[in-house]
Amino acid sequence: MDNPLVTTEWLAAHLDDPKVRIAEISQLPERDTYREGHIPGAIWFFWKDICWHDTDREFVSPEKLAARFGAAGIGPDHTLVLYGDPVQYGTYAYWAFTMAGHKDLRLLDGTRTKWTREGRPLTKDIPRFAAVDYPPPSGDASMRLGREAVRAGLGKPGRMLLDVRSPEEYAGERVMELGKFDHGAERAGRIPGAVHLYFKNLLNDDDSFKSSAELDRIFRRVGVTKKSPDEVVVYCRLSHRATLTWVALTRILGLENVRIYDGSWTEWGSIVGFPVER
């Protein structure tokens, strides 16, 4: 898989490219930050509205993706550049849209943080694109793992569980990051046997990914290489931070044995009878 990251320079040169669409994926359902200023041409999406099923706790299907994208003026042949607010919401959308089947997805490396630090333009203009036809693509959910498969594999030789939450969450002191209301699961702790790697260690201070050489060294320190383990299962609280780690491992470093437990700690820490380690 080619590295999907595009630089701020590349995006600046393609703002008027009719083959390119840009989307801001927001953590919050309000458009306040977007209205204050966004990258020119960027469409706004609230992450749940675009990445999830309308009612079920399930991801967007290929059919629903086609309908939503087509209505927004995104066609099957468009290069779609995503940036998150914050960064992990862009990688979450990238992962969800990959499963739903859009073929040409890109991520703005450094998201809005790097873009604005470089003094690049923002606008308050809201783009309007005519609806287009988008036949449902072929999906692929092979990069996803459910709770029963995670539990069945506890202690399995060759499988690593990688917990990329904050140190306080991993230690069982909180179920949410410091500085935020502590909610999201009934119990604090971690999945038994999970190894810890804080996701922010993969980023520079401008929210861009560290170099491939740096990422390789970081993952090697926790025991992840292209040859070992046989399988890596990544999780966090709700899988946003896990998707950023998945992008680093699969798209930047080229590992093929990585999947995400998308229910993550919000689900695991609330299920009756599932084991918790502290």
Told to judge if 236 belongs to the known catalytic residues of this protein, a careful annotator would answer yes
- 116, with CB counted inside 10 A (0-12, 13-18, 19+), is middle
Name 46's bridge partners: 26
Q: Comparing C-alpha atoms, which of 53, 101, 86, 95 is closest to residue 258?
A: 95
Question: Contact, 157 vs 98, CB < 8 A?
Answer: no
Give the angle 6-79-100 at the CA atoms, nearest 5°.
105
37: left (phi over 0), alpha (psi -120 to 50) or beta: left
b/e per residue 244-255 (b: at least 16 CB within 10 A): bbbbbbbbbbeb
Nearest one of 122, 120, 112, 43 to 84, comparing CA atoms:
112
The CB density around residue 167, as the number of other CB atoms within 10 Å, is 12
Closest CA to 94 of 214, 218, 242: 242
Q: How far apart are CA 245 and CA 240, in angstroms?
A: 9
DSSP characters over 88-106:
HHHHHHHHHHHHHT-S-EE
3-state SS, residue 60: coil
Among the listed residues 107, 202, 233, 236, the single catalytic one is: 236
Distance of CA 143 to the CA centre of its chain: 12
Active site residues: 236
